[in-house]
Amino acid sequence: MRARPELERQQDEYRVRQSTGRLSETAVDAWRETLEAARQQTLQAQREELAELAEQLGQQVDGQALNDARVALDVARMTLQGGGLATEELRELRAVAQALTHSPELAERILEGQRELAELERSARDVPGAAAALAVALTGARQAIERGEAYDLAPLWATLERQMSQAAAQRQDFDARADFVIAEYDEVRGLAGETIQRLGRLADALRAQRRLGPMSADARERYAQTLDGAEALLGEARAEYEAAQKVTATFGEDALDNLLDVFDFGGESLDDAPGGSGLFGGALAPTSSVDEPLAPTSSVDEPLAPAKPAEPASSDPFAALLGLSTGASASAAQPASVPDAASSLSLPAGARADIWQVRGSAVVAGPEDGAAQGVAALLAQADALGLYRLDMGDDAHVWSARAAGEGEWRLARAADWDSLDDDAGPWLDTGEL
């Protein structure tokens, strides 16, 4: 791109169009063809220029400068033969060929200045904003050195060092912001809302960018864009998390009425959810219909049976949400039993996660586990609502589920998210062990 500034400007325009969703596949294909044609034209032109420079340098008197030029010629020749462009090498060779037309003393002074200038330019290219800040000064220095004038490059090096310090401070700020976003997402990732899923994708991108070493200007720009997008979602994700905290603290009718806010189903009311009233529809314990006759009450002459003590509420959040405590509600919501062959599904020995296959509201493969049965009932309701992924957590474990189609889900559990992602993540995504 540096060899064809007009193409660099076109690339910037396409990036803007891509960011606004106005870049079509046809335009991308045409752009790819344009780049390939421009590359072939530039490659041929550089090969011809290299042949001319080799002929010019061959007419010069032997010396250290000429020996250095011959090495540069060989490097440029091999680069072009391999299909690469030798833009920087050819520019340095042109400068050498021009310098060697002067007297040996003047030529040596010019070449020394050009070598230091080339080193300065290469260093500035890797520092965001440095090339633009030094552009005018570099042009003036190059012209003065080519005339054989003495030129002090120390002020330019000082400017570059300031740019490097600013770039380092910017990178530290980016990394700190990324750490904050990742930490915030890890705290709320157990929820299944669309906002948190989008935040999760951006957090994964930030983890990868955070691990990168020195960044080009383009890479830094992408890093900044990812950070801006993630930070814009943090407030909404935090609101979803606080709503979930209220749900888990109350587990009452009011909590169920507001549970949709946690999962972010686009404003649909609970009564509109498939399966009947409430998020969980028929999975909850049935209640009497207004059309059913009431059971006869005891006569005043009949002795009343002693009241049955209220059973303690379950401390398991899944049991509390699904009505899986002991009694009639438990039998109403309990899914079908696990087949005897269920235990055959497992990860390799040493894995830090457990996995299950779920169909409808029943676990059909995987180790027998009461908590997994409870989550299976939840997945049946999630399937009815059109969800395809759930990430959850309780006091001891984290859970993740992926819809596999036809009412089936892949479910995994581990002690922490890293263990779950590393050991069960590939199976969750593909279903292959």
- The model's pLDDT over 202-247, given as tens digits with 9 standing for 90+, comes to 888 898 888 887 787 778 888 899 999 889 888 888 887 777 676 5
From residue 9, alpha-carbon distances to 1, 5, 6, 82, 249 in Å are 9, 6, 5, 27, 56
pLDDT for residue 418: 85
Check: CB of residue 354 under 8 Å from CB of residue 413. yes
Task: Find, among 162, 98, 69, 171, the residue nearest to 124 by Cα.
Answer: 162
- The model's pLDDT over 96-136, given as tens digits with 9 standing for 90+, comes to 888 877 777 788 888 888 888 888 888 888 787 888 888 89
pLDDT for residue 334: 42
Check: CB of residue 85 under 8 Å from CB of residue 39. yes
Q: What percent of the chain has pLDDT over 70?
A: 74
Is pTM, for the whole model, over 0.85? no
pLDDT for residue 433: 79
pLDDT for residue 176: 93
- pLDDT at residue 372 greater than cutoff 80: yes
- Helices of type H across 101-153: 104-125, 130-146
pLDDT for residue 358: 92
- The model's pLDDT over 61-80, given as tens digits with 9 standing for 90+, comes to 667 777 777 888 888 889 88
Mean of the pLDDT values across residues 394-415? 88
Query: How does residue 292 score in pLDDT terms, banded at 50, 70 and 90?
Result: very low
Query: How does residue 84 score in pLDDT terms, banded at 50, 70 and 90?
Result: confident
pLDDT for residue 151: 83
**Cα-trace Rg, the chain:** 34
- pLDDT at residue 178 greater than cutoff 80: yes
